Amino acid sequence: MKAIMYHYVMPKDEKLPGLYRLDIKSFIKQLDFFQENFGFISKNEFFNSIKYTKKTSEGVVLTFDDGLKCHYDFVFKELKKRNLWGVFYVNTLPFQKNKILDVHRIHILISRINPKILYDYLMNNEIQKFFDKQKIKEFQDLTYWNQINDKHTLLVKRILNYFIEYNHREIVLDELFNKFIENKITVDDYYLSIENLNEMNNEGMIVGNHTISHKVLSSLSKKSQKVEIEESFNFIEQKIGVSTLKTFCYPYGGFHSFNKDTENILKKINVDFSFNVEKRDVSNKDLLKRPHALPRYDCNQFKFGKNINN
């Protein structure tokens, strides 16, 4: 069983000219490649594997993170054409607070402003005073190993996503937006709507949980992790209903992004399975022994999956 992870799947957007994305034409080619070489696991097969047999089926499972609008506009339509299904993981803060997530504000900045300019600004405006030295030590070499980033994009992402303490990051991002971003992007421009999610759910897609605000869970206390996980599940179930498969995936992914507390919280609230990011197939042992760390490949690890920013 091969689980594949996607984020932005879309044609070039003039509002986000430097956004790293998988072009929709490449996505279509990759679906053809998967069909020819591996096939796709049916939803019933997958359900039985997770719930009952604990044995993997041969084929591909498609997953899409962050609840992005392009998942409805382009991905969902293509899956429907092919009678395929996918798992769509959403964060709930954009619905609850009408606010773009910090992680996506970082994407917007990098897509519009030369990352070297952003890096130089971060280094020259006393923002280093907000750095957490322990986080620099912990995450310096563990992050973005499976992505293709230029030097300054990598540095900006690490600084803003990992090195700055959360209680300061929003302030820093507000400062960067006020300085560099003129034409604002709205929540409606960026994310799926509740109506989109209900339609997708009714058409056989699975809606999963990606926390409230897309923070690195391993950086949070157990209490804060519980809030991020449990309250987002409650919101999804209120708005879309209880799914036959209760599923979660870790923001950012990789074993550095969660811990034993995270897995124990997921077990306690009866989540069926959770996706990590790891470059290998899902095995029977994974389903039996550690269903809350199932591996997923990034789409760029297969033919036609290269993300571009032009």
The identity of residue 77, as a single letter, is K
Distances (CA, A) of 38 to 12, 29, 32, 61, 281: 29, 14, 10, 10, 12
CB atoms within 10 A of CB 179: 12
Q: What is the pLDDT of residue 162?
A: 82
| Residue 95: pLDDT over 70 | yes
| Residue 119: pLDDT over 70 | yes
Please state the rounded mean pLDDT for residues 151-172.
Answer: 86
The identity of residue 213, as a single letter, is S
Q: What does the mean pLDDT of the chain come to? A: 92
pLDDT digits (tens, 9 = 90+) for 195-220: 999 999 999 999 999 999 999 999 99
Query: Please, is 221 exposed, middle or buried when counting C-beta atoms within 10 Å of its C-beta (0-12, 13-18, 19+)?
Result: exposed
- Which two tokens mark 96? 């609850």
70 Ramachandran zone, left/alpha/beta (phi>0; psi -120 to 50): alpha
Please state the rounded mean pLDDT for residues 173-179.
Answer: 93
pLDDT digits (tens, 9 = 90+) for 98-117: 999 999 999 999 999 999 99
Please state the rounded mean pLDDT for residues 33-41.
Answer: 98
pLDDT digits (tens, 9 = 90+) for 290-309: 999 999 999 999 999 999 98
pLDDT confidence band for 132 (50 / 70 / 90) = low
pTM metric for this prediction:
0.92
Q: What is the pLDDT of residue 133?
A: 62
Query: Any idea what DSSP says for residue 131?
Result: B
pLDDT confidence band for 141 (50 / 70 / 90) = low
pLDDT confidence band for 84 (50 / 70 / 90) = very high
Q: What is the pLDDT of residue 135?
A: 53
Higher pLDDT, 169 or 278: 278
Percentage of the chain modeled with pLDDT above 70: 94
pLDDT digits (tens, 9 = 90+) for 44-55: 999 999 999 999
- Which two tokens mark 164? 């700055």
Give phi and psi for 92, each to the nearest 5. -100, -15
DSSP track, 170-201: HHHHHHHHHHH--S---HHHHB--HHHHHHHH
Distances (CA, A) of 264 to 96, 132, 233, 243, 290: 26, 27, 15, 21, 11
Percentage of the chain modeled with pLDDT above 90: 81
Q: What is the pLDDT of residue 143?
A: 47
Cβ contacts of 116 within 8 Å, gap of 6 or more: 152
| Residue 149: pLDDT over 80 | no
